[in-house]
Structure 1
Amino acid sequence: MLIKQSLAYSGRIWEETKGMMRKYFWLASALALVSCQEAQQPNQPPQTPTPPEAVASGADEAEAPAGGARQVKEETDTFVFEYSYPQAAGDNPVLAKWLDNQLEKRRDELALNAARDKETARDNGFPFNKYFSTTEWQVVADLPGWLSLSAEISTYTGGAHSNYGFDSMVWDEERNIPVEPIAFFTSPDALDAVLGKELCEQLNKERGKRRGEPVPEGSTEMFDACVAISEPNLLLGSAGGHKFDRIGVKIAPYIAGPWVEGSYEFTFAMTPAMLETVRPEYREIFAVGK
């Protein structure tokens, strides 16, 4: 889902390059975000791996007691790791365990990659800068039976600068499983058909502000293209506090613009047309926004 560059390509090469570049962030990062598969198949939760000795030795960890918010920070000679989630998530023991499993996976993968690459750098006479990974989960909406969460994730695994992106999910408190926000809708294409045009208009308006000039009409440049609903992270929010009546869209760098433009974020009130794209089994927890 990420990068593209402001060079014009043609034919098959252009199409292949666009697909590769839009996925750059996730492929470039050694730490993948929580996968859609995990959230859509919550009956197969990730197993907590045994932390490697490299993590346990020299690590500086501070965390809140179980049953509430958690904040972890560890630093060794090869990496810095931070991970946190709010009290609303920690108060649900099953959700807390799910998030803790994600914590362990990311921490262990970071430790493994950092140790390996430091050794490789030393063997080849290159300098090594500490790797880092930070994940911060926040509450988007806390409704009866449902907890909508979003995360900001930053990683550095070498290169000119760090990468950052977003993650999101909704916790079904009755079944105690995570659900991807897009899974509440009949399909990404169905939601895109009713929201895509407005998203494109808002995106181009903001692009114009940041670039100091409007997006040229009919441009074929990759960073001028509209963004399909399937590409950014979706968030389910609530202004009324009783049902989901807002859709948030977070677009990480390299999806809609170059790194220097940063991320793009938009919020849309739920419309009757959007409501029609919600799956029947979830329709009662959604409402038209005001």
Structure 2
Amino acid sequence: MTLLISHRFAAALVPAILLVTACSGEPEPTQAEKAAAATVLGAPPGANDDVKVANAAASNVKESSDLMEFAYSYPKEAAEIPKLAEWLDQDRATKRDALTAESRRDQALAQKEGFPYRPHSHLQAWQRVTNTPRFLSLSSEIETYTGGAHGMTNFETLIWDRNKTVRLKPLDLFTSGKAFDAAIRTDYCAAIKRAKAAKGIQPPDEELPDALESVFAKCPPASAQTVWLGSSDGRHLDRLTIAIAPYEIGAYAEGDYRINVPVTAALVRVVKPEFASEFRAAR
């Protein structure tokens, strides 16, 4: 499928833009590329068999100049849903416009104040988490830089409901954020401790006063983070990852965290009745 981009939007981009669209004549991916693609969260068993189709980038817009660097991509499955592709295209245009305005403002300020300007950036890639008969679940990692000491990593998420033809947030599938948090808190908090230990970071001293611990919440509400829902069989939602950006639970040097949490019967019980049949407890 070839992505068509409006003349108005294309004309707004500088000549440095490179538009890459999926096509049937692309070269066969290597085994290493297949293996890497099949590790995407939620890829069902046998994903290697279809990884070329499932992970082909249907839209990949890139731009680089002395002013800024911008990139935005989304996969073939999203491009095949017109309403979703329309929203993604608009999201891309909005974010590019915001980056352009901010970059021009800061460049002008740098020239006025006599200090070097560092090109700003927004690099965002949407990837398939899973594609069930009803839902297309997408995750997005965003790398930004606005001229400071370092860049920043953030995350986004969305689910397309084919039955309702609407874009949803993962938490829309649950009775409430509070119920979601309560159902996974024990597993989620324990997983954060394990993830920190794997990085050689000791947990906070339990005897410290709350005021000394408040800089980084030991276990912030999962509902306040980015939730990715995946599938192990390509039919039911039975995988859950909480993506946590830098500074949320630790210093910038710790980086981000991807916390895998089991989909339990307790979690399935707080799914809205209309979506209950789409879930399956892993334990």
Same-fold call, TM cutoff 0.5 = yes
Matches of residues 48-87 of structure 1 in structure 2 within 5 Å?
56-64=13-21, 69-87=58-76
Contact 1:85–1:136 at 8 Å: present in 2 too?
A: yes
RMSD: 2.2
Distance in 2 (alpha carbons) for counterparts of 1:93 and 1:68 = 16
The one-letter amino acid paired with 2:244 is: I
Residue 240 (structure 1) aligned with residue 233 (structure 2)? yes
Match of 2:173 among 165, 184, 194: 184
Match of 2:164 among 157, 175, 185: 175
In structure 2, the partner of 1:217 is 206
Deviations along 1:188-231, one digit per CA (max 9) or x if unpaired, are: 11111121122111112222332443432244313352121222
In structure 1, the partner of 2:80 is 91
Distance in 2 (alpha carbons) for counterparts of 1:250 and 1:260 = 16
Match of 1:263 among 242, 256, 266: 256
Match of 1:250 among 243, 247, 250: 243
Shift of 1:68: 6.7
Shift of 1:59: 3.0
Match of 1:285 among 275, 278, 282: 278
Residue 156 (structure 1) aligned with residue 145 (structure 2)? yes
Contact 1:58–1:75 at 8 Å: present in 2 too?
A: no
Q: 1:144 to 1:78 in 2, by over 3 A?
A: same
Distance in 1 (alpha carbons) for counterparts of 2:135 and 2:207 = 42
Distance in 2 (alpha carbons) for counterparts of 1:124 and 1:80 = 23
Deviations along 1:72-113, one digit per CA (max 9) or x if unpaired, are: 101222001001111111111211111111110011111111
In structure 2, the partner of 1:40 is none
The one-letter amino acid paired with 2:216 is: F
Match of 1:126 among 74, 97, 115: 115
What 5-or-longer segments of structure 2 have no aligned partner?
1-5, 24-55
In structure 2, the partner of 1:7 is none
The one-letter amino acid paired with 1:150 is: S
Contact 1:148–1:169 at 8 Å: present in 2 too?
A: yes
**Range moving further from structure 2, 167-176 or 82-91:** 167-176
DSSP 3-state at the match of 2:83: helix
TM-score (norm 1): 0.77
Deviations along 1:221-263, one digit per CA (max 9) or x if unpaired, are: 1335212122210011111221111111111111111111111
Distance in 1 (alpha carbons) for counterparts of 2:60 and 2:225 = 26
How many residues are treated as equivalent by the alignment? 241
